[in-house]
């Protein structure tokens, strides 16, 4: 039996950052171990922002990464059928794309410099780990930690093992399917693409010169991933076809890599266990589609370290961290996302925003409010009031709310991933 102060499962951004912050804050003395998977971190076409405290955390780490593993983007291009406008991104609120494996490697180096021990096991072994009455058994080794951090990402392996109410949980996730392909964009922008393939998607420069990451994403039940993947391949082709028609974008035929993954769309229920602190993606603190998941994962790790110092229990910590989450998960963002799926396009929203942005009478405040909505997902009360005054949009929002309520109350038996997506070309 090995006694550990704090055992952290998962060497992703949240787990590594938690260890670094605990060390920096001097919590838990020398007994701090990360249980990591020995497989190298997968590539993910990740973008994020420097806005807010999490953004500052990220920016800090970006300086540790090789410069060619980070691309700053000074504009975002919004594309939908019949819509093509570009929003410039202020320097303060930069968007950037990051090479996820390099970020993890930089965090790992720092954790090791702070003498955090990292024990590596194959993921297959870790999938079978047992946790009972405060003891954790992995492949014959038994640990008795004072506390456990579950930073295992979307599967939330530990929390779901010990929390009875988590067993039946079947959360909605944002499912992501991507390919890195040869190609180029004439200006280094990120393109957010709504509609043509049914989900919300994006295209951004990749880290290989002359390549692009083209990503298809849609909401799906976790249990329906097989169906999602089958459909996603066709939807991705549809997306590539759409992008090939857009001036300034060239999507070539050479595929460098492909992959898929899930991003949780909702926080887990409050933890009952007094042993396990769920963090980052495992706690469901992501904000799919906003480019904020990564920084929220890092932010949750920082909040965790300060909460532990204040002696907060897992449940108290969860309340603290979800308060941040609620703020970010402003309902318009979620509803707008649901409606993309239902209608296969952005309804009136992109058109209304586009009209305002291009209108010569648009006030600078309104333009800024729209930029904040598009870039940061934050809707100011003034902008919300103006949107609601557009009859077309108010009607559509009400329909979306009604549908959302039906789904939440279990009145909608057709609650599956079979959205009325736009027909595939040639279908
Ligand atoms: C394809 C894809 C695209 C994405 N795009 C974006 C984006 O553009 N912007 C954005 O902000 N976010 C994006 N995300 C989400 C973002 O990557 C996550 O929110 C973020 O990485 C969460 O960090 P984390 O440390 O909580 O979890 P993760 O990064 O998932 O790390 C979890 C770690 O735990 C390990 N693990 C799993 N099980 C065990 C176990 N039993 N024991 C030990 N270790 C275990 C895993 O191998 C992994 O290393 C994307 C995710 C995917 C999958």
In order of 72, 113, 199, 240, 397, the CA distances from 79 in angstroms are 20, 44, 12, 13, 21
Bridge partners of 8? 34, 149
Greater confidence (91 vs 389) lies with 389
What pLDDT digit, counting tens, does each position of 313-327 carry?
999 998 888 776 654
Q: Supply the pLDDT for residue 106.
A: 93
User: Is 152 close to ligand 1, i.e. is its CB under 6 Å away?
Assistant: yes
What is the Cα–Cα distance from 364 to 68, expressed in whole angstroms? 35
Q: Whose CA is nearest to atom 39 of ligand 1?
A: 152
The DSSP letter of residue 117 is E
Q: Whose CA is nearest to atom 47 of ligand 1?
A: 37
- Domain range list for the chain: 2-43+50-64+98-169+271-326, 331-408
8, 10, 122, 143, best to mutate for ligand 1 pocket (most atoms within 8 Å of CB): 10
Q: Whose CA is nearest to atom 7 of ligand 1?
A: 46
Q: Tell how far the Cα of 385 is from the centroid of ligand 1, in angstroms.
A: 36
Q: Tell how far the Cα of 281 is from the centroid of ligand 1, in angstroms.
A: 6
Q: What is the mean pLDDT of the chain?
A: 78
Residues in the chain: 427
User: Is 34 close to ligand 1, i.e. is its CB under 6 Å away?
Assistant: no
Q: Tell how far the Cα of 143 is from the centroid of ligand 1, in angstroms.
A: 25
User: Is 44 close to ligand 1, i.e. is its CB under 6 Å away?
Assistant: yes
Q: Tell how far the Cα of 36 is from the centroid of ligand 1, in angstroms.
A: 13
Task: Read off the pLDDT of each residue in 50-70 and give the average, rounded to a whole number.
Answer: 76
Q: Is the pLDDT of residue 55 over 70?
A: no
What is the Cα–Cα distance from 286 to 266, expressed in whole angstroms? 7
Task: Read off the pLDDT of each residue in 87-111 and give the average, rounded to a whole number.
Answer: 82
Which CATH architecture best describes the domain 2-43+50-64+98-169+271-326?
3-Layer(bba) Sandwich (3.50)
- Per-residue confidence at 224, pLDDT binned at 50, 70, 90? confident
The DSSP letter of residue 422 is P
> Are 9 and 151 in contact, with CB atoms under 8 Å apart?
yes
What pLDDT digit, counting tens, does each position of 336-346 carry?
444 443 333 34
């Amino acid at each position: 039996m090995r006694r550990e102060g704090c055992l952290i499962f998962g060497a992703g951004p949240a787990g590594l950052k938690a260890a670094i912050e605990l060390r920096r804050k001097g919590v838990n003395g020398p007994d701090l171990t990360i249980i990591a998977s020995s497989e190298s971190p997968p590539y993910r076409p990740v973008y994020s922002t420097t806005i807010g405290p999490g953004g500052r955390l990220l920016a800090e780490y970006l300086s540790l990464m090789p410069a060619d593993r980070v691309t700053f983007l000074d504009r975002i291009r919004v594309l939908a059928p019949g819509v093509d406008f570009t929003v410039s991104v202020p320097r303060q609120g930069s968007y950037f794309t990051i090479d996820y494996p390099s970020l993890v490697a930089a965090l790992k180096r720092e954790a090791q410099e702070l003498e955090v021990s990292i024990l590596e096991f194959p993921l297959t072994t870790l999938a079978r780990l047992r946790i009972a009455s405060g003891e954790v058994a992995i492949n014959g080794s038994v640990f008795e930690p004072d506390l456990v951090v579950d930073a295992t990402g979307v599967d939330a392996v530990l929390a779901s093992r010990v929390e009875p109410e988590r067993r039946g949980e079947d959360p909605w996730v944002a499912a992501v399917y991507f390919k890195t392909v040869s190609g180029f964009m004439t200006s280094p922008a990120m393109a957010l693409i709504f509609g043509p393939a049914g989900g919300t998607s994006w295209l951004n420069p990749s880290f290989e010169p002359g390549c692009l990451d083209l990503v298809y994403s849609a909401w799906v039940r976790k249990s329906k991933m097989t169906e999602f993947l089958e459909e996603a391949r066709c939807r991705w082709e549809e997306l590539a076809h759409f992008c090939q028609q857009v001036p300034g974008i060239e999507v070539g035929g050479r595929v460098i890599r492909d992959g898929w993954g899930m991003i949780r769309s909702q926080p887990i229920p409050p933890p009952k266990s007094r042993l396990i602190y769920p963090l980052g993606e495992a706690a469901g603190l992501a904000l799919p589609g906003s480019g904020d998941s990564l920084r929220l994962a890092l932010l949750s790790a920082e909040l965790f370290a300060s909460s532990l110092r204040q002696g907060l229990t897992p449940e108290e910590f969860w309340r603290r961290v979800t308060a941040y989450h609620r703020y970010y998960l402003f309902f318009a963002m979620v509803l707008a996302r649901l409606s993309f799926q239902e209608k296969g396009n952005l309804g009136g929203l992109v058109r209304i925003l586009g009209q305002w942005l291009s209108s010569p009478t648009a006030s600078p405040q309104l333009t800024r409010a729209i930029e904040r909505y598009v870039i940061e997902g934050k809707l100011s009360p003034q902008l919300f009031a103006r949107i609601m005054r557009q009859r077309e949009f108010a009607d559509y929002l009400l329909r979306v709310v009604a549908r959302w309520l039906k789904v939440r109350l279990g009145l909608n038996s057709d609650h599956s991933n079979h959205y009325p997506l736009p027909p595939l070309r040639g279908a």
